[in-house]
Amino acid sequence: MPILILLRHGQSLWNLENKFTGSMDIDLSPHGCQEAAQAGELLKEYRIDMAYTSTLIRAVRTLEIILKALNAKIPVKKIIALNERSYGELQGLNKAEVEEKYGNRQYLLWRRSYLSTPPFGESLRDTFQKVVPFYKKEIIVQLKQDKNILIVAHGNSLRALIMFLEKIAPKQINEIEIATATPRKYCFDSNLRLIEVSYITNQKL
């Protein structure tokens, strides 16, 4: 039975500084590199046949560190559809300062809602409309061949994919937060029916 593992990149330099990162190409922090290495340790017991990442350096480097920890040479594809959504004019701004200026309600709408669009940015719906067609065209084909797939991407591109995989309604997605470098495993049966969802940790959930 195939498995799909979703993983958000390790902490970036702008995560560390509490800034809106979005589509900006910001590297990992030293702690983010450590998180990626720890994720690699968690994945050692799994067979991974193919890996996908966005084109942004924080996701690319996270995957590189994981594969080094696994001592694995597997096919890797960089996919722009997996890139983080743009936060438009908010990118580079401190999140706490944005919340103070615009209020908690507007801040949360921009960050977590499905439909709300930051000034000159993209909504989660925009991201959904890029990620899900990629998944249907590329990943489903691999899973049907009983391949285990690792996807390293970003908070919002993964939230969009989780919406689709777990059939989460737009009104509920604002409650979903994805931690950095914590593998989330999806197990499917031979007909690609989802049978189990769990985080991979030192102690199995």
Q: Residue 59 and residue 70: Cα distance in Å, rounded? A: 17
Predicted pLDDT at 201: 87
The average pLDDT across 54-66 equals 98
DSSP-assigned states of every residue in 57-94? HHHHHHHHHHHHHHT----EEE-GGGSPPP-GGGTTSB
Catalytic residue among 9, 35, 122, 154: 9
Tokens of 139: 């990943």
Which CATH number does 3-39+48-199 carry? 3.40.50.1240
Active site residue 31: no
pLDDT in tens, 27-43: 999 999 999 999 999 99
Predicted pLDDT at 175: 86
Helical H segments across the chain, by residue range: 13-16, 30-42, 57-70, 95-102, 104-112, 124-134, 140-144, 155-166
> Is residue 205 pLDDT above 50, yes or no?
no
Residue identified by tokens 């990442």 is 53
> Is residue 204 pLDDT above 70, yes or no?
no
The average pLDDT across 71-90 equals 97
Active site residue 9: yes
> Which phi and psi angles does 140 have, rounded to 5°?
-60, -40
pTM of the model: 0.95
Catalytic residue among 35, 84, 122, 154: 84
Strand partners, 51: 76, 150
pLDDT in tens, 119-146: 999 999 999 999 999 999 999 999 999 9
Q: Residue 194 and residue 42: Cα distance in Å, rounded? A: 22
Q: What is the domain partition of the chain in residue ranges? A: 3-39+48-199
